[in-house]
Structure 1
Amino acid sequence: MDRFDALQAFARVVEAGSYTKAAQTLRISKTTVTQLVQQLEARLRVKLLNRTTRKVQVTADGALYYERVVRLLADLEEADTSLSNASASPKGRLRVDVPSPLATLILAPALPAFHARYPDIQLDLGVSDRQVDLIGDNVDCVLRGGELGDSSLIARRVGELRFGVYAAPRYLERAGTPAHPRELEDTHHRIVGFLRANSGKVAPIDMRHGDECITVRGRHVVALDDGNAYLAAGLAGMGVLWLPHYMAQAHVARGELVPLFDDWQFDPMPLHLVFPPNRHVGAKLRAFIEWIDELMARHAPVAAGKMHDNGGT
């Protein structure tokens, strides 16, 4: 038995809650993962995991052992990177998940600069607006907009998205230009709905004008759960859109979108970089955090005094 492989397999099963998912992230067979954990238990003469037909549960002894294993694996990685001078030139694979519009409009165009600075980092970007299971999907970190629902995660606020309301000229020619946000509720006007990843429901929008504060839900004939598709539906004239400024500005400049309700304000949406509490923040992740901080400072700066959230690094 290779002790390092066995420890790594055990840790991944605990984190993923599944032998199958652990095997997928380690890129080995499920049989191999099972054998490594069994060999580890035999050597220790302790039951580390209880496996049922539905899930894998860590035993009390296994939970204590896992805490030590995570620290040991992190120390080994740190030792390897220090000897290879990785702190000066970070290297290795980094798995990151980001929303599709941010990836398309901000991150992807800036990747040549990232690669020039960190040529030895292999950046694997998952691009979606879905809710990612950081541990189960073996993702190092995610970039997400909105308030955080899981307080156990480590989060760093790296940006704030400012919003506006927009519609395509073809929609306004057909439906007319609404003078007040309430006209989107009970008239012939329509919005394009954006489906929240955690609930599958269309997200309402809070707006304010002086002392007047309202929540607009609107009426829709189409709702989408992907930011790029949401924008495309709006450009096609399917309804009124709520968009971050970075998504709208080029289309406004080309006359493809028209701003509405300019005298109404929105609270900015926080943008967080999030990673699991047990994930070692090595040189490559620190390098990515530093780069994202710089990138978002140009495109979606955070108001003074809001830079760090829970456990920010």
Structure 2
Amino acid sequence: MDRLDVMRLFTRIVERQSFTLAAQDLEWPRSTATQVIQDLEKRLGVRLLQRTTRHVKATLDGEAYYRRCIAILGDVEDAEAAFSDAKPRGLLRIDVHGTLTRHFVLPALPAFLARYPDLQLHIGEGDRLVDLVSEGIDCVLRVGDLQDSAMVGRRVALLEEVTCASPAYIARHGNPESIDDLTEHVSIGFVSSASGMTLPLEFTVNGNVRHVALPSTLTVTSAETYVAAAKLGLGLIQVPRYHVQADLAAGTLVSVLPDFPPSPTPVSLLYPHSRQLSPRVRVFIDWVTQELASSQKNV
């Protein structure tokens, strides 16, 4: 068997901490994966993996071999990608922010897959913090300021934010003309999946960002529920403009305090420090960056 294929299998087992999951990712029989690693350990004369009933973990020799394999596989992919006719191939596993992806990414996805027919794409959806290495994910698309030393991040967009409410809410509470007018208002609280805390509203005043924590009778964790609750008149919300553009145009939501907008929200793609940026991840990042840039011009 090709030694590069053996390295790919070994690194996947280390990352997934499972023979079964690694074999599934690479579409290998489980029994074949086991035999290949046994032959590898015999050839090298060292124990690479510690096997328990719950998971698989690299030994000290296994960790050293893993780092060498990652570097070698990255160099091979870079060398092949240097040729103009080399095409990204294989399975690309991403985890994404669902609302953003459905609005900007999915409509253009058929053209992306047609351009790279040797790619297979698996999309997981969520805002939770994921362990990219152990879960076998190549990169994640996330909204907001993210700080994770275990990942490399590339900012791919800045989303314009807007404060809004329903006409019924404005009829009851009035339309504020300044930040000080918010004392008689309520918000729908959005709970951060990262911190578990309810996020305050944010306004830009004379170039400075000001945070305002309003009382909330409702807190949510879903962006879709957040907008739906605002349309029912339950409070003020702050969301990316693209998410409510149709509602603003239809009048089911109205902009509030447009002269004091929230600061724009960054969108980032992140991938592990331990991996070199493979051609398939690189083309996906470049494509997403371009799609978000061009799509926002129409928002």
- Taking structure 1 as the reference length, what is the TM-score of the superposition? 0.79
Q: Of the candidates 154, 157, 160, which is equivalent to residue 162 of structure 1?
A: 160
1:73 aligns with 2:79: no
Distance 1:55 1:284, change over 3 A: closer
Partner secondary structure for residue 191 of structure 1: coil
**Within the alignment, does 1:256 sit opposite 2:245 as a pair?**
no
Q: How does 1:109-128 map to 2 (within 5 A)?
A: 109-128=107-126
Q: CA deviation at 1:99?
A: 0.9
Aligned length: 297
Aligned 1:160-309 pairs, distance under 5 A: 160-181=158-179, 187=184, 189-210=185-206, 213-300=209-296
> Residue 13 of structure 1 aligns with which residue?
13
Deviations along 1:192-240, one digit per CA (max 9) or x if unpaired, are: 2222222222222332322775322333333333323322332233321
* 1:71 CA drift (Å): 2.7
Unmatched 5+ stretches in structure 1: 302-313
Say yes or no: does 1:148 pair with 2:146.
Answer: yes
Q: What is the match of residue 43 of structure 2?
A: 43
In 2, Cα distance between the equivalents of 1:216 and 1:32? 59
1:159-181 Cα distance to aligned partner (Å, 9 max, x none): 11121211122333344434554
Write the deviation string for residues 26-74 of structure 1: whole angstroms up to 9, x where unpaired.
4557666555444433332212233456654433222211111123333
Q: Distance in 2 between matches of 1:58 and 1:182?
A: 58
Partners of 2:10 and 2:149 in 1: CA distance: 25
SS of residue matched to 1:239: coil
Are the structure 2 counterparts of residues 35 and 173 from structure 1 closer, same or farther at C-alpha, using a change threshold of 3 Å? Answer: farther
Q: What amino acid is aligned across from residue 22 of structure 2 in structure 1?
A: A
Distance 1:19-1:260 versus aligned 2 partners, 3 A rule? same
Looking at structure 2, the residues matched to 263 and 17 of structure 1 have their Cα atoms a distance apart, in angstroms, of 52
Are the counterparts in 1 of residues 15 and 135 from structure 2 also a CA contact under 8 Å?
no
Task: State the one-letter code of the partner of 2:125.
Answer: V
Q: 1:311 maps to which residue? A: none
Kept after mapping to 1: 8 A contact 2:155/2:268: yes
Tell whether the 8 Å contact from 2:161 to 2:262 is kept in structure 1 after alignment: yes
Match of 2:64 in 1: 64
2:156 aligned partner, one-letter code: V
1:129 counterpart residue number: 127
Secondary structure at the counterpart of residue 221 of structure 1: coil
Instruction: Report if aligned partners of 2:163, 2:261 keep a CA contact under 8 Å in 1.
Output: no
SS at match of 2:273: coil
2:294 partner amino acid:
R
Q: Judge which range, 126-135 or 206-215, deviates more.
A: 206-215
Cα RMSD after superposing both structures:
3.3
> 2: distance between equivalents of 1:53 and 1:217?
49
For residue 94 of structure 1, report the CA deviation from its aligned partner: 2.3
Please name the residue that 1:305 is paired with.
none
Q: Which runs of 4+ in 1 moved over 6 A?
A: 79-84
Q: Which amino acid aligns with 1:246?
A: Y
Structure 1 residue 84: deviation in Å?
Answer: 10
- Give the conservation status (yes or no) of the 8 Å contact 2:77–2:279: no
Give the letter aligned to residue 255 of structure 2: P
Q: Which amino acid aligns with 2:231?
A: L
Which deviates further from its counterpart, 17-26 or 200-209? Answer: 17-26
Q: Is the 8 A contact 1:142 1:273 kept in 2?
A: yes
User: For residue 306 of structure 1, what is the aligned residue in structure 2?
Assistant: none
Contact 1:129 1:225 in 2 (8 A): no
Going from structure 1 to structure 2, the CA distance change for 1:9 and 1:287 (only over 3 Å counts) comes to closer
Whether the 8 Å contact between 1:21 and 1:137 is mirrored in structure 2 is no
Aligned partners of 1:53, 1:182: CA distance in 2, in Å? 60
**Structure 2: any 5+ residue segments left out of the alignment?**
none
Q: What SS does the corresponding residue of 1:95 show, helix, strand or coil?
A: strand
What SS does the aligned partner of 1:13 have?
helix
Would the aligned equivalents of 1:208 and 1:264 in 2 still touch at CA under 8 Å? yes
